[in-house]
Structure 1
Amino acid sequence: MSDTRLPHEKGFHISWDQIHRDSRALAWRLDGHGPDDGAWRAIVAITRGGMAPAMIIARELDVRVIDTISVKSYNHQAQMDAKVLKAPDADMMGDGTGILVIDDLVDSGKTLELVRELYPNAHFATVYAKPKGRPMVDTFITEVSQDTWIFFPWDMALQYVEPYRGTD
């Protein structure tokens, strides 16, 4: 039997509770691994997906300096060439030493490849990773197959669903 599902139909649905647990697990894995006696100088969230994990990780690791880099690599569910729309503070970043760059997912690796070119000594961490992008990430929590579409809670809305066997 052939698999006739569309790519987005092989979905991995993440709840707010799950992203919180997985982000805390990532913080635990990163704790004590920064270059400044185990601490990180700053966190840079890759917008938009990296913002929620970065907030949780910053809290867990007591990092107060937080910035963002805005990279566009998707147009809805279609991938495109990655480009920087907004860069973090250049004086803070330097070559990236002591900076923890956080994203929700590494997929093809194009976004992280672009950011790594800008900040080669930063540490790149994602909550989820797909095989094609794994070489671009230093630390991650969960690997999913390349053909899995991850549905993050900030992309979803709760709604009523009819039961399978009717409404009686």
Structure 2
Amino acid sequence: MIPTLCYIALGSNQGDPVAKANSAISVLSAHPDLTVTSVSSLYRSAPMGPQDQPDYINAVLAIETHLDAIELLDALQQIELEHGRERKDERWGPRTLDLDILLFGQETINNPRLTVPHYGMKVREFVIYPLLEIAPQLVLPCGTSLISLADNCDRNGLEVYNL
């Protein structure tokens, strides 16, 4: 059986976001059901929504897995919990760690727990540019190229994070 190529967005702006991001990358790399094939640079981005919170550290990972989409979601949510994530009703609020499935192969998934492709990925600079770094030739299930999305997406101050 051929594994499914997936793209995972990572974000953190609480505690030590760089340490949280690096820890999450390490945990994902060590997970027995996941093979991390590529990791973007870390990026610094302004928060979406309420501006009275710290900037985010973001990255995108390419992984291969034999898990189905819901099993992958469960694994990612467990990693979030292990990194102190508290699920709240507040949308776009501060996060210790946020792991989102951007793409699950070329599948389109719409169920109460999961929407893939991720509903915001076509307009979020902190997803588009890190994804472009690791998958410049990517074409979404709808036929839209990632390059065309980047051509129409303002960077909004997004920058590669350097120590």
TM-score (norm 1): 0.29
User: RCO greater where, 1 or 2, for CA within 8 Å and sep 6 or more?
Assistant: 2
